[in-house]
Amino acid sequence: MLPNLIVLHEHPEWQKPLFAALARRGVAFEPFDVTRAAFSNDEPPRAPLYFNQASPSAYIRGNTRAVPLALAFMRALEIGGARVLNGAHVFALELSKSTQASLLRALRIDCPRSITFNDVSALRARERELGWPAVLKPDQGGSGARIQVVDSLAQVEAIFAGDPGVWLPDNLFLLQEYLAHDPDRGIVRLEFVGGELLYAMRVVTHGRFNLCPSPVCNPDAGAGSCEVPSQPPQVEAPPVEFYPFPEAPRDAIDTAMRIVRAAKLDVGGIEYLETDDGRRVFYDINANSNLRPSVAAAFGFDPFERVVDFLEGQLARRG
């Protein structure tokens, strides 16, 4: 029997709560592991609905080739007429912080000023435009990997001269405006399913960049099992903290909804922070959304059951 739903994934631990919820509801689904896969151009889609849960940070787990395979497979599926949630267009957006910055600017939403570069020497011509400190981050993000705060162009030059491998796998970086904010308030992440707010949470970062909401990476207690090293590695900081945020401002939610619709995001998270000088700055669009059960429980529901509600609704539309 052919499945009704196929879930593209790369990190099986992240998918366990979703797969369990699908099984409880009797949805005929199959996982599709994009880390070791192949597909043909003459095979029709095997299911009426596909759900992309591939992650840009796959390379950290030794799965660098998962990303181009997932993107190529989704494009082939869409050309073949399949419905792919968080499909090729959305995944390509998640893979590029530069494109996200351009989208936010086009929507006239306050976002960090960003300079994208593929050679450090090219920054010399823009030295007057640079402000310090700045955030150095890869275009292909994911789990805060390779992000660090830098204080000068000389420091940026030293980073790439000391380890040319830092360019991999995407060979593109951004220098982004540093946004000073209250560390005790942290950042806000708004989770959306089907264009509607699922829940809002505050994330107290303690200077860390890996803000993955999955308890696998950042558990409520004890040590996590995430492969992403602490950034910067020499700084000891408390674990990241996640709190329900029912008081999220309505206008912030509305702005995030604009981003979700413009990005055509089916399931995902939008992040913003409030700066010391009173700005509300949106800076990240996440299509691979690792939901936080303990936060959703404070709002009175299981987040993965809500995702399955959405998936079942999409299946009903497909007939």
Q: What is the per-residue burial (b if ≥16 Cβ within 10 Å, else e) of 12-48?
A: eebbebbbebbeeeebebebbbbbeeeeeeeeebebb
Q: What is the pLDDT of residue 230?
A: 46
pTM for the full model? 0.91
HEC per residue, 184-231 = CCCEEEEEEECCEEEEEEEEECCCCCCCCCCCCCCCCCCCCCCCCCCC
110-177 belongs to CATH 3.40.50.300: no
Q: Tell me if 205 sits within 8 A of 212, measured CB to CB.
A: no
Give me 229's structure tokens.
Answer: 């090293």
Q: What is the pLDDT of residue 189?
A: 96
Q: What is the pLDDT of residue 210?
A: 65
Tokens 């869409």, residue?
78
Residue 146 to residue 267: CA distance in whole angstroms: 25
Q: What are phi and psi of 175, to 5 degrees?
A: -105, 120
Residue 85 to residue 307: CA distance in whole angstroms: 12
Burial degree of 123 (CB within 10 A; 0-12, 13-18, 19+): middle
Q: What is the pLDDT along the chain (319 residues), one digit of tens a residue?
A: 899 999 999 988 889 999 999 999 999 999 999 999 999 999 899 999 999 999 998 988 899 999 999 999 999 999 999 999 999 999 999 999 999 999 999 999 999 999 999 999 999 999 888 899 999 999 997 767 789 999 999 999 999 999 999 998 899 999 999 999 998 889 999 999 999 999 999 999 877 776 666 667 677 655 444 555 544 444 566 788 999 999 999 999 999 999 999 999 999 999 999 999 999 999 999 998 889 999 999 999 999 999 999 999 999 998 7
Output the CA–CA distances (angstroms, integers) from residue 174 to 123, 149, 178, in the order listed: 10, 12, 12
Tokens 């970086």, residue?
173
Tokens 């402000």, residue?
131
Q: What is the pLDDT of residue 231?
A: 47
CATH number of 5-94: 3.40.50.20
- How far out from the chain centre does Cα 172 lie? 17
In a 3-state reduction of DSSP, which class is residue 164?
A: helix
Pick the CATH number of 181-311 from 3.30.930.10, 1.10.287.3610, 1.20.1640.10, 3.30.470.20: 3.30.470.20
Sign of the CA dihedral 178, 183, 188, 189?
Answer: positive
Tokens 């020497």, residue?
121
Give me 7's structure tokens.
Answer: 């879930």
In a 3-state reduction of DSSP, which class is residue 43?
A: coil
Residue 247 to residue 245: CA distance in whole angstroms: 5
Domain ranges of the chain: 5-94, 110-177, 181-311
Residue 187 to residue 210: CA distance in whole angstroms: 12
Same CATH topology for 110-177 and 181-311?
no
Residue 210 to residue 181: CA distance in whole angstroms: 17
Q: What are phi and psi of 202, to 5 degrees?
A: -95, 140
